[in-house]
Structure 1
Amino acid sequence: MAYERDHLGFLQDARQWDMQWVHQSAEALNLEITDIDEQIIQALRDFYFEYDLSPAMRPLVKHIKQTVGPDQGNSIWLMQRYGESPARTLALLAGLPKPKNCL
């Protein structure tokens, strides 16, 4: 499938998202997607479609803590797993727009 991306590589239309997108994007980032990653990505997509917003780091951590669990819902774990900008990386994997305050 050909995905329409913006100039930063983010999916243009979140409704085009599928697991193939996740795996292609993860491969480009040298990430192996696990069940926990899939839960986090789905939680992020649920947040986006409820609030029409890709969350920045603080709301992301809070939402992951509430929906996935306290082990993953902390900034240290998220940064170790997804690099220095977890909100940006997870938005990319989830097929969402880049969070507003991410570089």
Structure 2
Amino acid sequence: MALEVNGKTYETDEEGYLLNLSEWDEDIAKVLAEGEKVDMTENHWEVVNFLREYYNDYQIAPAVRVLTKAIGKKLGAEKGNSKYLYELFPYGPAKQACKIAGLPKPTGCI
């Protein structure tokens, strides 16, 4: 599959995850978010940017439990909990946020 944004074509897998992580930018993130019916706010970007940093450090997209714990450490307990993350990404914080962040689908996600 492919998405076109600002005249540039982005290849995605059958579930809509970007195939080339280095092509990611905020414009493609906004299009991916629209496809997920997520209205990006500052809090959404905070999680997306956190995921990209995490991926750069560990070369893996974290599963939701790991994500929750890591966000709690970095951004505080009020953000490091499932309720907060599911409010931002109702179809699964790890799965949806990773897609918007241009990362592969997290291991362990169905």
Shorter-chain TM-score above 0.5: yes
- 1:92 matched to 2:99: yes
Contact 1:40 1:68 in 2 (8 A): no
Contact 2:98 2:105 in 1 (8 A): yes
Give me the TM-score of the superposition, normalised by structure 1: 0.93
* C-alpha RMSD of matched pairs (Å): 1.1
Contact 2:21 2:103 in 1 (8 A): yes
Task: Give distance in 1, aligned partners of 2:27 and 2:94.
Answer: 20
Identity %: 33
One-letter identity of the residue aligned with 1:75: S
Of 67, 78, 88 in structure 2, the residue corresponding to residue 60 of structure 1 is: 67
Deviation of 1:84 after TM superposition, in Å, equals: 3.9
Equivalent runs, 1:2-41 vs 2, <5 Å: 2-41=9-48
Q: Show the counterpart of 2:4.
A: none
SS in 2 for 1:3: strand
Deviation of 1:14 after TM superposition, in Å, equals: 1.1
Task: Give distance in 1, aligned partners of 2:70 and 2:55.
Answer: 11
**1:48-93 per-position Cα deviation (integer Å, ceiling 9, x unaligned):** 0100100001110011112223222101111122114110001101
88-97 or 66-75, larger mean C-alpha shift: 66-75
* 5+ long unaligned stretches in structure 2: 1-7
SS in 2 for 1:76: helix
Task: Give distance in 1, aligned partners of 2:36 and 2:77.
Answer: 25
Give me the TM-score of the superposition, normalised by structure 2: 0.87
Contact 2:44 2:88 in 1 (8 A): no
Deviation of 1:34 after TM superposition, in Å, equals: 0.9
* 5+ long unaligned stretches in structure 1: none
* Largest Rg, 1 or 2: 2
Q: Size of the alignment, in residue pairs?
A: 103
